Structure 1
Amino acid sequence: MLLHFISDLLRNPELQRQFSKDPDGAMAKANLSEAQREALHKGQLESVMKLLKTELASLEMFAVVWVKAVVQVNSATPSTGSCGNTVQLSVAGDFFTTGTFASLKMSGMDVPAMTQSVENPGCRGSVLHCTLNLPSNAPIGVYDLAVVNPDGHYGILPQAFTID
């Protein structure tokens, strides 16, 4: 990745020596694309900036590098369900990734949801589609909704769902 290579080149004296001695070898070792190597080799600032912009345009990469993938849970639809029923739940938020899962939580009680799909994974405006099987013996009341990514980042929407 070009951003990492430039960052390493600025901070790492050994990489600076390698790059001075054999720029093509150092760039190839970093797995830079031909366009990236050409732009750096020729010192084409405009081309380098354009390539960096393309990398940063990937919100998932941007989130990992800069935002640290802050999971935000904005809403849940529907927001109610009855004991013993199955609910198709859609959860809107930011930076849900593939493999994300959700769970309702209240006073030590967890009701896990089965993930069906994630729209717009790794980006703002993600939507998690899941199925909630509400146990017939689930305590009636208001639950928080937790959404957890496989990397451990999570978000909670307090009082998001009511079991009646």
Structure 2
Amino acid sequence: MLWLSDMQLVEMEALLMQHSRDSSAAGAIRSVVSRVCDILPTVSAIAEILHPEVNFGERVSKLLLRLELGIPSSIVELAEILGRTLNRGEYLELLKIGIINKDRFINADKQVLLSILSYDKIDETNFKIEKYIQEQLNVSAIVEIPLYED
């Protein structure tokens, strides 16, 4: 659960390794995350069979994204658009300054963004956000054609 919080990896390691002689837990943390990501879709599918009234699809996809990136739920909206374009540290820095969605990212001061991201990453993220917005406009523009009835 620490991995899904805004706690830095160094702090997690210190907490997890306080009673151990090893000096690093980062590999173990990533290993557990990887294993959970491997089995979570199967567990979710079984749960949907046992409880068909509950739709786990969107929840599981968001949880998998959060596990993959190691981010809290408050910034998942931005992560759904940008994915691995940003790393965990960059997402957590954006979270600290309140940039948690595409609108806040677009409206953020460029100098503030430059304190966290490089010019190239800012350009890449802006491109992905613009592409996402365009795709959403295209989806909403699709006209629904009624089924043919005799």
Whether these two folds match at TM > 0.5 is no
- TM-score, length basis structure 2: 0.22
The structure number with the bigger radius of gyration is 1
What TM-score, normalized by structure 1, do the two folds share?
A: 0.21
- Greater percentage in strand: 1
